[in-house]
Amino acid sequence: MSIIQRSQQWGTFARIWHLYDAKWQDPYLSAERIKMYLMGLYKPIYHPLNDCGDHVVVINSYDIALRGDEWRRRAYFHHTGYHGGASWTMAWEVHKKNPTMIMNKAVYKSMKGNLQRRYSMQRLHIFKDENVPENIMQNISNQIKQLRPVPLRLDEIPPQEVAEFPKLVKYPENYIAQ
Amino acid sequence: MVFQSLMLLARNKGPDEFWRKRKIFRIAAHFIGRRRNCYSIAIRNVHRALVYSSKGRALKKADMRALWETRLHAASEEHGISRYILHEGLMRSNILLNRKTLMDLAVWEPRTFKALSIIALARTKQDGLNSVQHLDMPDGIITRGMLK
């Protein structure tokens, strides 16, 4: 095997580390995309028996966005195994306790329940903010595209730009906005 | 075998018991325990195994097809088009390659596959398919529609 083919082989089967910024992203839809990278489904050499899954580092999991009023509606079930040990925790409560848990569970549930799932999950690294350890950060070589752009909030726009924005309607002095 | 009367046909028991059973035991040779040594158990398991293998022949084809489609999805997404656009574009360009061939090209001849995906995109763009409206027309593709 020539040195070119050897490096080609290495390049094809090397594990890649991807970065995903979960800020303002739906965790359940993001999970479908992250899953593709964790299982290696985005590679043309994919095979269920070949070990071609990559690492994914998810940052800003604290800032995920659930749809509608799902923070209050979505319940996470847990059972201790004892009688009366069932408990249902609302999404906002789970997120308050552990900001990485909703993302973690979303990715776990997006994958089919087989022997490979636990090993794929070991390649997922979730962080609640942008503080990622240096030894992980130095591996990263690719960024996964976000599902949708993060919208700019009005209070993040500089006040001068807001003041200079052309006005369509000039309200009278004594007008009270509701 | 020639039977001179119906009577003789009825009396004929077929091949010798030993050879009849041996055929079954040969098939059951790799089973474990009594399933390979006791005839009445072996025959049941041989029947079951043969049914599995018949069904398996169809399942194997379906599994391979699913694998090709998964890989083609990955390969065409790499070049920014969906698998359906790839198939549609190639069919419209009269490039009649099946899933297996396309997958082989994607794995072993990535540049050839890239050229094919560009052709597929250009053809679908030229035919005005809605799902490729947001994509740019690739450069360096000359089609019959352009020549006129």
8 Å CB contact between B123 and B143: yes
Q: Are residues B35 and B79 in the same domain?
A: no
Same domain for B49 and B89: no
Same domain for B102 and B85? Answer: yes
Q: What is the mean pLDDT of residues B72-85?
A: 96
Q: What is the mean pLDDT of residues A108-116?
A: 95
Question: Do the chains contact at B107 and A41, CB–CB below 8 Å?
Answer: no
Query: Does residue B68 share a domain with residue B40?
Result: no
Residue A117: CB atoms within 10 A of its CB come to 17
Contact B77 A42 (CB under 8 A): yes
Report the domain count for chain B: 2
Does B4 map to a domain? no
| Position A167 pLDDT exceeds 90 | no
Distance CA B23, CA A89 (A): 62
Q: CB distance from B71 to chain A under 8 Å?
A: yes
Predicted-assembly ipTM surpassing the 0.90 threshold:
no
Mean model confidence pLDDT for chain A = 94
Contact A42 B74 (CB under 8 A): yes
Q: Are residues B90 and B24 in the same domain?
A: no
Exposure b/e, A93-104, CB count within 10 A at least 16 = b: ebbeeebbbbbb
**Which of B58, B74, B90 corresponds to the end of one domain?**
B58
Cβ density class A50-77: b for 16+ within 10 Å, e for less = eebbbbbbbbbbeebbbeeeebeebeee
Per-residue pLDDT tens digits for B15-70: 788 999 999 999 999 999 999 999 999 999 999 999 999 999 999 999 999 999 99
Q: List strand residue ranges (DSSP E) for A70-137, in order.
A: 75-79, 86-90, 124-126
pLDDT bin (cut points 50, 70, 90) of residue A169 is confident
B82/B44 same-domain check:
no
**Co-location of B38 and B92 in the same domain:** no
Is B6 inside a domain boundary? no
Inter-residue contact A87 to A81 (CB < 8 Å): no
Any domain includes B1: no
Q: Is A145 on the interface with B (CB under 8 A)?
A: no
Share the mean pLDDT of chain B: 92
Percent of all residues in chain B with a pLDDT value above 90, rounded to a whole number:
77
A4-23 tens-digit pLDDT: 999 999 999 999 999 999 99
| Shortest distance, CA A43 to any CA of chain B (angstroms) | 5
Q: Please state which of the ranges A111-125, B9-23, B69-83 shows the lowest mean pLDDT.
A: B9-23
Q: Evaluate whether residue B2 is within a structural domain.
A: no
Between chains, do A46 and B74 touch, taking CB under 8 Å as contact? Answer: yes
Same domain, B88 and B107: yes
Mean pLDDT of B3-24: 84
Exposed/middle/buried for A11, CB within 10 Å: 0-12, 13-18, 19+? exposed
The whole-angstrom distance between B18's CA and the closest CA on chain A is 43
Contact B106 A44 (CB under 8 A): yes
Class of the CATH-defined domain A3-67+97-147 = alpha beta
Position B148 pLDDT exceeds 70: no
Tokens of B43: 């025959």
Q: B82 and B132 in one domain?
A: yes
Range of the domain at B143: 61-147
Q: Does A16 touch chain B (CB under 8 A)?
A: no
Q: What pLDDT is recorded for position B145?
A: 64
Over residues B121-144, the pLDDT tens digits come to 999 998 999 999 999 998 888 766
Q: Do B108 and B81 share a domain, yes or no?
A: yes
Domain residue ranges in chain A: 3-67+97-147
Scan residues 44-83 of A and list those with Cβ closer than 8 Å to B.
44-47
**Shortest CA distance to A107 belongs to which of A29, A1, A161?**
A29
Residues B83 and B140 in one domain: yes
Same domain membership, residue B132 and residue B66: yes
Residue with tokens 């993040």: A156
**Residue B81 in domain:** yes
Query: Taking CA atoms, what residue in A is nearest to B102?
Result: A44
CATH of the domain at B102: 1.10.1900.20
